[in-house]
Structure 1
Amino acid sequence: MNRSYSFDHGGGGGGGLTSSSSSLSLSSMTGPSSSSSTSFGNGYQPLCFSKEVFTSESFKVDSFIADCRKRVPLESVQKDLKEYTRHLDAELVELINKEYHSFFSLSSSLAGIDVGLNEFNDTLSSIKSEISNFKGDINKVRECVEDKLKEKKKIDHSKKLLQLYISVSDSISNINGLFEQLAMVTQNDQQQQQQPSNMALFSPPSSLHSTLSVELVIDRISNSFFQIQRQIESLAPEESSLKLFKTLQLKVVELSNKIELNIDPIFQEALKTSVKSGNLSSVEILSNCLKTYQVLKKIHIPYKIVRKSIIKPYLISTITIKNLENGLKGSCEGLSSIYSNIISYLQKNCSELFMVSNSINTYYYHQNQSQQQQEQQTNALSYNFISESILPEVDEQIAFFRQIFATGIPDLFFRTYNQTNQFISALEDMCPSPTHVIQLRNSPSYQSIFKKWNFAVYFQLCFSNIASSFETQLSQHPLNDFISTIHLNPIEKNDYYIPQSFSLCQNLDQCWSKNIFIYELSSKFFKMFLQMIARYEYNIQDLITPLLNTLKKEGEEEKKDNTNTSTTTNTTITTTPSATTTTRPAKQVPIQESLVYLYSDLLKLSSKISVHYKSVVLNTIRNPSKEIEDIVSNGIKDATQSIQKLLSSLDTIITSHFKIKCSESLLFINTLSSQYRLTNKPFPTSPSQYVSMILNPLETFLNNKAMMIPSHIRVEWVKTILAPVSEQFLANANETLSSVTKLNETLRRMKGKKTDSAPAAAESNVEKLSLQFYLDVVKYGQLISKLGVDIQQIQSYTNLLNLVEPFKIYLQQPAL
């Protein structure tokens, strides 16, 4: 809707605003209207929406229309929107009419303001131009000052470098003067030593302090050179590249070499004096010389001097073929004494040198506080004469005597290696810190001295000796033959019944014997340890596999025999069970029963390997890491699991054998019906003889051969064996009772043809047979309880007992 508004200047000289398009005026808006009679009193209130919805930030036309459409028709919404629009127009007109005079006064007050703004802009432009000019002048002055400051800084830097050059040059000159003083002091000291002892008492007082002067001069040289180094190191890379300082650095290098030439003879002489007498003055000179070498960063020089002048002469005189053989030609009997003499010499004659070097190392350690600096200092500037002077010379000297390494002679190899290893351990104990021990073990001479021993050949020889001994034992005593005849031979009271088991433990002990085991071959010995266990298990598996196959075939044949025997027994067997058993020939003891001795050995081995040998392996390897412990534990766990599988197979063989043995006596159940058929026997009062025969083989086995088996295993055997036996007992009893019942029914059908006494007699025979079954089952349960088993744990026996429980009532029957 288009709207236009105009000011009305008529009507009493007052102005007003009118709306031409909507024909609205202030007077007309305040009049009555038929379309919104209640809209303009206290303000317009729409019927279907709130006016606040239009001022909301989240207002959307689509959402507004959809929301109103839910409540009222669109026509009502349109109507309310039109009314609300008219109301807004009226409010706008009323507002403008109300503030009419204010609008006109505002427009009149703005007249001429553009002139003032133009003047202000001119003034502002003028000030801005002046500020810009002033800023340019300031920048020029600042650039000039900065150039002067840079020039001054460059001059100061050049002056500083020049002063540094002068200072270093003066220090070099000072050190050259100290060289002259050192030469004079050294010359006086030599003259004093050449004088007779009585003349030395009357020498000038200054000569009495010649040694002390040597110490002080060396200390001053060391400190002066240290300051030179610090000054040179303070130079930046671009400063060091200057020709002036390149020349100066060459002078410093030349000075370092000159210091070395002057200090070397003094250090060598003081070292010899210290080793011979150990006086305090020589120790102090040693300390200052070592500090000087450390400042020069030439600690390899004292290493060479100590090795050449002290260690090598002694080792040449000590490590000789005479001392090595010790009176026994071609042997190494004296090697242990040689190593002991070397350690004793180092501890006694070189103790001052070690003490001085350790104190210097401690000093430099505290001078560098951060961990990184300490590590760098230890590697670069700390003294370690054991790894750099002593061990290299030992390695060089023993290399001339090949008999020490004894390749091809395991006993001699182990003895000489063990002695050398103990000697190296003694050297490690002399190291002042773990860092020096690590440095010793990482040194080339340490690696070289151990490479001289051929560990591969030694292990191959040990493996051949141990493995061949074990294989010989396995071949001399075949397991199958030994198990088959073990019942004919007296059992020795030993930890193991089978010779192969005892031989296995002996050879496993040799793997970790203190006279055979070498730490460097730990993995190979552990592998051989597991291989021998696996070989032993394979030997047993060769015995068990045929037995398992044979047992399956015999089980199938036994079932067929039981079926045929049961049919023939019903017609042919009329004697008592005791009479029948006496006619059977004696059988040879089955090999299955003798396997209990092997079973006992496997139980002991499984426990010993998992506990004893695990501890032996870990203790022999010496403080193994977590990773090595896991490897050992997993290997031993696999070995014991393999043994457990063998035990499980033996369980099957032994229990299956006795299932068949115990089930043989159940065939006599079929003879019970014939005992009471067409007879006038009284009601039974005791169980049948075959009941004790059922458990007799198992009871004899448990009380004799299986006595060494733990009780809980024997109980499990009894449960496993008697569960199927009880099931067979139940099946045979059911079959017998069923056949007797059928016979009884036949007799009843013959009632019309014969007298009534026949059916009555048949009924009596059934009751007698039922009572006999009850007595047999009760006795059977008592025998099971004597074996230490709770009969409630054998479900098949419970079923059997439930079958005969109703026959208990026949116990009160009178005797016929």
Structure 2
Amino acid sequence: MSDQNSPSPPPPSRATTDMFGDPIGSHPQWFKQSSFLDPDFDSESYIADLRSFVPFDTLRSELRSHLSALKHDLVELINRDYADFVNLSTKLVDVDSAVVRMRAPLTEIREKIVGFREALEGSLVALQSGLAKRAEAAAAREVLELLLDTFHVVSKVEKLIQELPSVPADWSSGDINFKEKGHISNGISLHHAKNGTAVRETQSMLLERIASEMNRLKFYFAHAQNLPFIQNMEKRIQSASSLLDASLGHCFVDGLKHRDESAVYNCLRAYAAIDNTKSAEDIFRSTVVAPLILKVIPHSSSGEVGGQSGDELEEDYKEIKRYIEKDCKFLLEISSTENSGLHVFSFLANSVLKEVVSAIQKGKPGAFSPGRPTEFLRNYKSSLDFLAQLEGYCPSRSAVAKFRTEAVYIEFMKQWNIGVYFSLRFQEIAGALDSALMPTSLSPVQNSNTGEGRPFDLTLKQSISLLDCLRSCWKEDVLVISCSDKFLRLSLQLVSRYSNWLSAGLAARKANKSGSNPGSEWAVAAIPDDLVYLVHDLNCLAAEICGGYLEHVLERLRSCSTEVLDIVKQSILQSGKALKDIIPQLITSIIETLVEQSVEDLRQLKGITATYRMTNKPQPVRHSPYVSGVLRPLKVFLDGERAAAYLTMETKNELLKGAAFEITDRYKELAVSLVDVARKTETSLQKIRKGAQRRGGANLDNSEYISDTDKVCMQLFLDIKEYGRNLSALGVEAAKIPSYCALWQCVAPADEQNTIKF
């Protein structure tokens, strides 16, 4: 043992130092031996982390070196304690006896634990059995108490019902024969009732108490209806319920008849207690509302109209409103009493509105027919006003929301077929515009033919029809706010239809084909003065649509949100711009027509060549007669009554410049072509003349010879000077027209080409 306690000599050192003084067997900084001792050490993740910055061969070499060192250390440890390792088996003496001695107490402890566990399980079973019996007893006791309570409540209800008068007429008198009891069970003495009001109030209070007991009885019956005892009492319960309903109905009717607020209030609370609101609503409808409505809209039980056959509802609604204010308001106020619990009733919907709807369906079924749009809309708006009047009796917003979700309210709104109404209005309005656009010619109004119309009056029946149709969409007796999106779409479609009518006509006019596009005949046959009407009307329509018409539409839709109003505004402004965009096409069409008329005179240019070719006429000294007629169509148009009355100065200037430029372009094309042909002909003739002279040996002096081409150019030069003076007379500077300058350069003498002077 002394050898074991003596300190062991240190292991021989294996390390030697290198040239830097570090041990040769030491590991680098990245190789941490402590990582192998971590409980959660993972070899794969360890190698993966090191391989990101250490070569694989280096890592493998370090691991092998570390393994070799560990094996060496293990061998050294075994050699150091080898003596103790060998002597370990010799010190284990009498081990079996020690094991036997320790086993006996362990076995005894195990037996005690098993016995205790068995006793504990037995106690647990007994306890659970007792608890189960206790639960069964509690359930049986609960059922028994429920049956006893049910029996007591049934007896109590029957006893209270017996205290009620047997004849409803007895309630209105002060002398009521009761049983020998001087007091009812609620403690109110009936001997103090001196008049019918006190009797009704007492009876209503008693009925309210019976109703609360019946409510308890229904609760008990719902929880124990399968028990034989309860099934045997079912007839008694039904009989008591029927007696209560009958008595409560009589009391409620009597209270309504005498307008006894206390009695009515108590009856309503009784109806609410037994969850029988429908009976109260039906009684009020049949006893109060129905006779009043029958006075306004008489009809027989078979549905035949008993009064006049008119389907107008406005006056009927006025009468009904007065009756409601006079005869129904008191009950509506009672049912809307705050914190009364009477909010479960819906007399407005299930009594008043239901009876009104039924009376209209039987007495005036034609009121719902959209076949007569004007009367239909008037009735529809009157009905909306009537519903708004009824909503005024609702005490809160939640009550209004509840009223609008009632089945009779929804059914009443479905009676008004707004979709069919809009379809009829669509056909009526759109058909009116289509009819106006059908004629094969433009249709000026009466004062447009004389040019006496005011600057901002529409001149064509087609344009007037469009504006009338647009305004019809938003008239008071046409528009339905719930369909305002459809009417807006119809308005935009009307403008689009008118725009397409114009565009198609102008396209056919440009192609000069009317048969290929039916409905465009008016454009092919129209003269420039007719198109002036369209230019004027488009300006007026665009101004009206983007001005007063837009304001009127926004005013009608003022109840909508800002976002909706912005969308409506942008769409209408865009439609007005679409009309404005057609005006340049009309101006172009007018210019093309005027140019074609002017070109008819320009075609006389061909006669200039015939005048001077192969003739001895002297050089021209004045312009040709045709020049005066070139700009005549343009001048006549601009000086005409229609242009003066309906075209703005800006439009006139645009037409003048456009036509002048276009006519000058055509003038230049014809003149340049004419000069080119003359020069080519002159060149050919000179070649022939020179050949003849050469063969004849003649030697003529050509120093003063003026060729036919020079004469033609001189004539054209005189013509365009006169043409330029005519342009100036109209207010157009010829020098600013590129084609005129090019024509001047083509025909002017050499000494005048750089200066344009008339």
TM-score under structure 1 length normalisation: 0.62
Structure 1 position 480 matched with structure 2 position 441: yes
CA distance in 1 between partners of 2:77 and 2:355 (Å): 111
**How many angstroms does 1:159 deviate by?**
1.9
Structure 1 position 650 matched with structure 2 position 628: no
Structure 1 position 384 matched with structure 2 position 347: yes
**How many angstroms does 1:356 deviate by?**
1.0
CA contact (8 A) 1:663 1:725 kept: yes
Structure 1 position 364 matched with structure 2 position 341: yes
Two-structure CA RMSD over aligned residues (Å): 6.7
Q: Which amino acid aligns with 1:601?
A: D
Structure 1 position 264 matched with structure 2 position 226: no
Corresponding residue number in structure 1 for 2:453: 492
Residue aligned with 1:304, SS = helix
Structure 1 position 506 matched with structure 2 position 468: yes
1:339-382: CA deviations, max 9, x gaps?
3232212101222111112227x5338xxxxxxxxxxxx6xx32
1:287 aligned residue (265, 274, 278): 265
CA distance in 2 between partners of 1:419 and 1:206 (Å): 51
CA distance in 2 between partners of 1:111 and 1:699 (Å): 145
2:533 aligned residue (597, 606, 612): 597
- Specify whether residues 120 and 546 from structure 1 end up closer, same or farther in structure 2 by C-alpha distance, changes over 3 A only: same
Structure 1 position 226 matched with structure 2 position 212: yes
CA distance in 2 between partners of 1:95 and 1:123 (Å): 41
Structure 1 position 139 matched with structure 2 position 118: no
CA distance in 1 between partners of 2:73 and 2:728 (Å): 113
**How many angstroms does 1:138 deviate by?**
0.9
CA distance in 1 between partners of 2:109 and 2:581 (Å): 106
Q: Which amino acid aligns with 2:144?
A: L
**How many angstroms does 1:262 deviate by?**
1.6
Greater shift after overlay, 149-158 or 540-549?
540-549
**How many angstroms does 1:157 deviate by?**
2.7
Greater shift after overlay, 647-656 or 624-633?
624-633
CA contact (8 A) 2:265 2:334 kept: yes
Structure 1 position 244 matched with structure 2 position 229: yes
Structure 1 position 434 matched with structure 2 position 400: yes
Corresponding residue number in structure 1 for 2:358: 395
1:162 aligned residue (135, 144, 147): 144
CA contact (8 A) 2:248 2:267 kept: yes
Q: Which amino acid aligns with 1:267?
A: F
1:682-741: CA deviations, max 9, x gaps?
xxxxxxx99995996599379972885678877877787677667668878988999999
- Specify whether residues 228 and 99 from structure 1 end up closer, same or farther in structure 2 by C-alpha distance, changes over 3 A only: farther
- Specify whether residues 164 and 113 from structure 1 end up closer, same or farther in structure 2 by C-alpha distance, changes over 3 A only: same
Corresponding residue number in structure 2 for 1:559: none
**How many angstroms does 1:297 deviate by?**
1.9
1:115-146: CA deviations, max 9, x gaps?
65665455445423422321221121112112
Residue aligned with 2:25, SS = coil
CA contact (8 A) 1:664 1:694 kept: no
CA contact (8 A) 1:600 1:708 kept: yes
Q: Which amino acid aligns with 2:359?
A: E
Residue aligned with 1:359, SS = coil
CA contact (8 A) 1:414 1:516 kept: yes
Residue aligned with 1:399, SS = helix
Number of aligned residue pairs? 690
CA distance in 2 between partners of 1:83 and 1:647 (Å): 99
- Specify whether residues 616 and 656 from structure 1 end up closer, same or farther in structure 2 by C-alpha distance, changes over 3 A only: same
CA contact (8 A) 2:200 2:263 kept: yes
- Specify whether residues 471 and 770 from structure 1 end up closer, same or farther in structure 2 by C-alpha distance, changes over 3 A only: closer
CA distance in 2 between partners of 1:496 and 1:443 (Å): 47
2:638 aligned residue (700, 720, 725): 700
CA contact (8 A) 1:405 1:413 kept: yes
Q: Which amino acid aligns with 2:212?
A: F
**How many angstroms does 1:226 deviate by?**
2.9
1:577-598: CA deviations, max 9, x gaps?
xxxxxxxxxxxx9713531321
1:150-178: CA deviations, max 9, x gaps?
22122223223322332333333333333
1:259-283: CA deviations, max 9, x gaps?
1122222211111111xxxxxxx11
Residue aligned with 1:496, SS = coil
Residue aligned with 2:286, SS = helix
- Specify whether residues 182 and 614 from structure 1 end up closer, same or farther in structure 2 by C-alpha distance, changes over 3 A only: farther
CA distance in 2 between partners of 1:596 and 1:111 (Å): 137
**How many angstroms does 1:622 deviate by?**
8.9
Corresponding residue number in structure 2 for 1:277: none
- Specify whether residues 87 and 642 from structure 1 end up closer, same or farther in structure 2 by C-alpha distance, changes over 3 A only: closer
TM-score under structure 2 length normalisation: 0.66
CA contact (8 A) 2:717 2:744 kept: no
CA contact (8 A) 1:188 1:210 kept: no
CA distance in 1 between partners of 2:84 and 2:636 (Å): 128
Of Structure 1 and Structure 2, the greater helix share is in: 1
Q: Which amino acid aligns with 2:450?
A: N
- Specify whether residues 758 and 302 from structure 1 end up closer, same or farther in structure 2 by C-alpha distance, changes over 3 A only: same
**How many angstroms does 1:389 deviate by?**
4.3
Unaligned stretches of 5+ in structure 2?
Answer: 37-42, 177-188, 300-306, 515-524, 622-626, 691-698
**How many angstroms does 1:422 deviate by?**
4.5
Q: Which amino acid aligns with 2:283?
A: I
CA contact (8 A) 2:538 2:583 kept: yes
CA distance in 2 between partners of 1:104 and 1:161 (Å): 84
**How many angstroms does 1:500 deviate by?**
1.8
Corresponding residue number in structure 2 for 1:347: 325
Identity of matched residues, %:
18
